[in-house]
Amino acid sequence: MVTDLARSFEDAGVAAIIYTDIDRDGAMGGPNIEATAALARAVHIPVIASGGVSSLADLIALRDCGAPLNGAISGRALYDGAIDLPKALAELRA
């Protein structure tokens, strides 16, 4: 269903899709990598992962998932200090 909805926007000029697993958002339990990667593989619109990103390990797992993800959003983990942004950027660029 998510994929069908996303595909319906491919010709509408949508710049990107922020895919948020609302069951994981703010829960600090890790993102839904499988569903996010599946969506990114199914559409031509850039996909940004959101919901549950709580550690550098989560960011690395998203980077390495094999799907063309275009970014990730983390809120609570940054505010709480669970992710050190400069360190994460350096690690992800390596």
Residue among 42, 38, 60, 62 nearest 50 (CA): 62
CATH 1.10.3720.10 fits 2-93, yes or no: no
Cα gap 8→5, rounded to integer Å: 5
Per-residue pLDDT of 21-79, as tens digits, reads 766 555 556 888 999 999 999 999 999 999 889 899 999 999 999 999 999 998 888 99
Per-residue pLDDT of 1-15, as tens digits, reads 788 888 888 889 899
Per the CB < 8 A criterion, the answer to whether 58 and 52 are in contact is yes
By DSSP bridging, strand 47-50 and strand 17-20 are: parallel
